[in-house]
Amino acid sequence: MKSRMLLLAIAAGIIGNGTVLAAPSQEEAIKKGREHFKIFCVNCHGVNADGKGPLVESLKITPYDLTALKQTGDLCIAERVLRAIAGLHDVAAGQKKDMPVFSGNLESITVYEITQYLKSIQKE
């Protein structure tokens, strides 16, 4: 439920005190998303978003290959990203969620831009 509410806030472009902001162009969102990814995600997920970041050897669970986020079941790429950022993602049986929860630290527009970048690098 929490992730759906966050998804709705992003879709509506609502930030902070409820001010509605214009969404950036697709190209600009991807560019900014790539920069955010470098800051927040690359240490674990790698520069190619393939789950082979520089910290991978110190992690208990191999980070997910973010170039393979195709829609599975009812979850679209955006919702899968939102669930992971909020700590609501699924993990294999017997494993615990080791990914840091970023939802309280990122603005909605930042999450949107990261999602747009990840959509742009999906493998066929």
CATH code of the domain covering residue 31: 1.10.760
pLDDT for position 76 = 87
CB neighbour burial string for 12-25, b if at least 16 within 10 angstroms, e if fewer: eeebeeeeeeebbe
Q: What mean pLDDT, rounded, does the chain reach? A: 79
- What residue numbers bound the domain in which 94 lies? 2-120
Count of domains for the chain: 1
Of 5 and 50, more confident:
50
Q: What is the pLDDT of residues 66-103, one digit of tens each?
A: 999 876 666 788 888 888 888 777 766 666 666 777 76
User: Is the pLDDT score of 14 beyond 50?
Assistant: no
Residue ranges of alpha helices (H) inside the chain are 2-12, 26-40, 42-45, 77-85, 108-120
Mean pLDDT of 34-41: 96
The letter for the amino acid at 61 is I
